[in-house]
Structure 1
């Protein structure tokens, strides 16, 4: 399965529209039926990464997506191995660009959870800058495995 990534755009009604940079979308992703999307989209949670020390702060839903015990202390290097190689490489490229140019990104990434399950996760990242320097990334993570199965 090819990786999908995009820059989020806000529509007039304030919902996210995804300007996806790929021409092979799963059928569920392009479904016009909003009720169908509820059947294939899973848990969504918040996350942040402090760039000073790579400390991660996750909501319970993100721990659940990765099948990790809730509220354990995590640092970015602890979780990188859970991303499949192609997804990790794409995430690293987008992350570097986000930090360098103070830009957000969206990526559908394939992960292997701590319990060995394979999942697809939508990662939305937004930088926070202080005096022009990005100091943290934060955003949302959502289980989108149902879009790919």
Structure 2
């Protein structure tokens, strides 16, 4: 059965609003991934739920090289520490979600904006699920060098 999501999130936001979208953790320095609490409280369907959140980054200057926390590997049901490419990961997104993510990603890079998007992913050998993607560009001088942020599974509707 295909997972359902009641009110998917899909929007772009200016970088000066990053604190609003990164209440789950802090991004510090030039491209470092910081620890985030294992479990994060979310409100879904009128009730409090727990969701595991993980940090990620995509190095735009290094052929879109990905760096993930252990939790992101778990979200995609991939072995922790495995070498994954952006192309392999993007192939796990449902077609409509992939198109929306690519459009917001390009917009974020072009206009120096963060974005939040709920996407449907199809992990290998597991049921599809919804994942919230929170992203922001990392700028060094006038150049965007990375995208970085959080990913976490959005609980299904009961």
| RMSD, aligned CA | 2.2
Confirm or deny that 1:93 pairs with 2:103.
Answer: yes
Match of 2:48 among 32, 37, 51: 37
Confirm or deny that 1:74 pairs with 2:89.
Answer: no
Hey, what's the Cα distance between the residues in 2 that align with 1:88 and 1:3?
A: 14
Equivalent residue for 2:155? 145
What does residue range 108-119 of structure 1 map to in structure 2 within 5 Å? 108-119=118-129
Q: Are the equivalent residues in 2 in contact too, given 1:3–1:87 (CA < 8 A)?
A: no
Q: Shift of residue 133 of structure 1?
A: 1.4
Q: Are the equivalent residues in 2 in contact too, given 1:45–1:141 (CA < 8 A)?
A: yes
**Which string of whole-angstrom CA distances, capped at 9 and with x for unpartnered residues, describes residues 84-110 of structure 1?**
001000000000000001110000000
Q: Which ranges in structure 2 are unaligned for 5 or more consecutive residues? A: 25-42
Helix, strand or coil for the counterpart of 1:56?
A: strand
Hey, what's the Cα distance between the residues in 1 that align with 2:48 and 2:93?
A: 24
The TM-score, its normalising length taken from structure 1, stands at 0.77
Structure whose residues are more often helix by fraction? 1
Q: Which ranges in structure 1 are unaligned for 5 or more consecutive residues? A: 17-27
Equivalent residue for 2:139? 129
Q: Shift of residue 30 of structure 1?
A: 5.6
